[in-house]
Amino acid sequence: MNWHLDYFDDLYYRFHDHLFSEELTREEVDLMTRELAIKPGDSILDLCCGRGRHALELARRGFEVTGVDLCLSSLAAARQQARAERLQLTLVQTDAGLARFDRQFDACILWGNSFGYSDDEGNLLLLKTIGQALKTEGKALLDVFERQALLDGLTTCSSVDTPAGRILERLTFDAATSCLGGELTYLAPGSKSIKRSSRLRLYSLDELEQLSQQAGLHIRLLQQESSRLLVKLTRP
């Protein structure tokens, strides 16, 4: 089930945009370019690119960027911004795990905990897609949750006020499937409450290593910050 089609809609961005400052985006792209050892002119694949926060910044820096996402409204927003800035940016609407290209890329990014949207078979397919899309010795960066670290600090119920209104969040973990279920309730002044649900398969680092090996990729942990892992995948 493509729960993320409804989850990452215009409502999500209205309530969450304040979290993604231009400064944060620049810092993250600085990290990407450093760890991937890429230079302007290199070809970059941004899977699950959303509204193109990173794809646009990479294009501004002279990279040849292809962004992939399943959500048409997100791609439309990215395309509109690229046109406004006269940036060269290729955008493709498809499921990232099913994406196929007639070329290969110098590097790939999968950011914002966008790994784990599917079951094990689908997540393995996504890693294989990355491997097929990369040139020999090409590299990918994945920003993912580490299961135990996330569960150790998990708050099952929370409330946060944003410029657009209040967000209520309820989280549950299914140990049998290793899936984190989430329900967001958006409360905007003068509007009815709106709910959105999510389901994310969580992995340990060892499990990520096993999946990566099955996909024919070498994996290396670059850093861990709280429950977040930054890993580098290399196509041998």
Residue 100 belongs to a domain with what CATH number? 3.40.50.150
Q: Is residue 171 located within the same domain as residue 137?
A: no
Q: Which domain holds residue 170?
A: 149-199
Could you give the CA distance from residue 85 to residue 60 in angstroms, rounded to a whole number? 9
Q: Work out how many domains the chain is built from and give that number.
A: 2
Confidence of residue 215 (pLDDT cuts 50, 70, 90): very high
User: Are 188 and 71 members of one domain?
Assistant: no
Q: Are residues 94 and 132 in the same domain?
A: yes
Looking at the structure, tell me whether residues 23 and 102 fall in a common domain. Answer: yes
Could you tell me if 122 and 32 lie in one domain?
yes
Domain shared by 141 and 159, yes or no: no
Reference 4, options 53, 50, 55; nearest CA is 50
pLDDT of residue 226: 87
For residues 66 and 175, state if they share a domain.
no
25-70 tens-digit pLDDT:
999 999 999 999 999 999 999 999 999 999 999 999 999 999 999 9
Which residue do the tokens 């290209």 mark?
101
In angstroms, the CA 7 to CA 23 distance is: 25
Residues 133 and 225 in one domain: yes
Same-domain pairing of 43 and 73? yes
Its pTM stands at: 0.95
